[in-house]
Amino acid sequence: MATLYHVPLSPFCRKVRLVLGEKRIECELIEERYWEQDPDFLRRNPAAKVPVLKIDGKTMAESAPICEYLDEAYPEPSLMPQGVDARYEVRRLVSWFDDKFHHEVTANLLYERVNKKVMKAGYPDSKNIKSGAQRIKYHLDYMTWLLEHRRWLAGDNMTLADFAAAAHLSSLDYISDVDWHRSDTLKDWYAKIKSRPAFRSILADQVSGFPPPPHYADLDF
């Protein structure tokens, strides 16, 4: 049995949860309020961040290396394609969402609206929220453009890139920050990935003080 130390709305933790679920790896979830700097947690991960995964007798940190490990150690079903070009494209998109999208959108919306309150780190900055609300439009359009050329974000098969993207969008959808009217193509993609069994635990998340909107867990949203 694996154990994941996580925060429910963290897109990096959600990405790992989706990969664990897709590969049917049983995993106990333990919520880790890492900003409170619990000494036990710091021993598990000196970098003091989540996700931290205990699996196969090891303790692992860093979501992208964890996901590549899971895909190599538990190859069925595969979430990485075979060819070198296709593999590059998956990794490029994982970086795109976890770096650029995270910095421009997730940090400006989710962290301002939720994390600051939960972590008692001050009030939301409306300038950042405005910037995030503006920039998510370009990202949704970019995703739509990709999905008009491919069945999934990185190619013809579902990969780690789809889970990276879905992890960010699901966290933002929890606070109603994704405009699903913007693109039917994008909505269809999200409906497909949202209906996978791996998504169930994410749709059941509840953060105290932040009830999700009714459409959040609705597969027919």
Question: Amino acid identity of 211?
Answer: P
Residue of 112, 113, 80, 83 whose CA lies nearest to 94: 80
Question: Rounded to whole angstroms, how far apart are CA atoms 188 and 19?
Answer: 20
* C-beta neighbour count of 165 within 10 angstroms: 28
Footprint on residues 55-94 left by its own copies (CB under 8 A) = 58, 60-62, 64-66, 68-69, 72-73, 84-85, 87-88, 91-92, 94
Contact pattern from residue 142 through residue 181 relative to its own copies, giving x for each residue in contact according to CB under 8 A and a dash for the rest = ----------------------------------------
Q: What angle do CA 141, 211, 121 make, to 5 degrees?
A: 80
Query: Whose Cβ is closer to its own copies: residue 54's or residue 87's?
Result: 87
Q: Please, are residues 12 and 98 in contact by the beta-carbon 8 Å criterion?
A: yes
Residue 177 CB, shortest distance to its own copies, in Å, is: 22
Footprint on residues 88-147 left by its own copies (CB under 8 A) = 88, 91-92, 94-96, 99-100
Is position 42 an interface residue for its own copies (rule: CB under 8 A)? no
Q: Please, are residues 153 and 161 in contact by the beta-carbon 8 Å criterion?
A: yes
Whose structure tokens read 């007798």? 57
Residue 99 CB, shortest distance to its own copies, in Å, is: 8
Query: Whose Cβ is closer to its own copies: residue 7's or residue 202's?
Result: 7
Whose structure tokens read 């929220």? 129
By CB under 8 A, name the binding residues for its own copies: 47, 58, 60-62, 64-66, 68-69, 72-73, 84-85, 87-88, 91-92, 94-96, 99-100
